[in-house]
Amino acid sequence: IDMDLLYWSRHFRNMPGEGDLPVIDFMRAVAATGYDGPLSLEIFNDQFRGGSPKSIAMDGRRSLIYLMDQVRRAEPGIAIDPPEMPDRIGVSGIEF
């Protein structure tokens, strides 16, 4: 497919492990440095934009749990755990 890289990167991103990037190997290398800080997802995808934010957040968290489980299986001494989902405390605004 001949597609502009910027367009592709803004509309067709996936959860970790769903694409071609070897994220398990990448996270093994990151964890081997001793990093145990936060993990973040930056997912731009038209389906996600139209979906439920809570559902997308839960799917993202599940993908991080699966990713780190695979890292632990490959390197049993490594442990980076995604944080728990925060409690909902209210709505601060609505944007249309």
Domain boundaries in the chain? 15-74
pLDDT digits (tens, 9 = 90+) for 59-79: 888 888 888 888 889 888 887
Tell me the average confidence (pLDDT) per consecutive run of 10 residues in the chain, 96 residues long. Answer: 73 78 90 85 74 82 88 84 75 74
3-class secondary structure per residue, 16-57: CCCCCCCHHHHHHHHHHCCCCCCCCCCCCEHHHHCCCHHHHH
For the entire predicted model, the pTM comes to: 0.68
